[in-house]
Amino acid sequence: MTDPVAAIPEAGATGAVAAIFADIRAITRVGVVNLIWRHLATIPGGLEWAWQSVRPRYEDGALADAADRLRAGLVVPDLGRLALPDPATGRILAAYDRTNVRALLALCALLARLGGVAARATLTGVARDEAELPLPALPTLDGLAPDTAALVLRLNQLGAGRPDPILASMYRHLAYWPDFLAAIEGRLAPLTLRPMIDAALAAARVEGRAFAPTLADLPGLPAASVPQVRAALTRFAEDALARMVVICASVRKATSD
d(CA 70, CA 108): 12
Domain boundaries of the chain, sorted by first residue: 10-255
- Identify the pLDDT of residue 218: 79
d(CA 93, CA 180): 12
Residues listed for the chain: 257
- Identify the pLDDT of residue 5: 84
- pLDDT tens series, the chain, 257 aa: 445 689 998 989 999 999 999 999 999 999 889 899 999 999 999 999 999 999 999 998 889 999 999 999 999 999 999 999 999 999 999 999 999 999 999 999 999 999 998 877 666 666 777 888 889 998 989 999 999 999 999 999 999 988 889 999 999 999 999 999 999 999 999 999 999 999 999 999 999 999 899 898 877 789 999 999 999 999 999 989 999 999 999 999 999 96
- The strand pairing partners of 30, in sequence order, are 133
Give the pTM.
Answer: 0.93
Three-class DSSP category at 30? strand
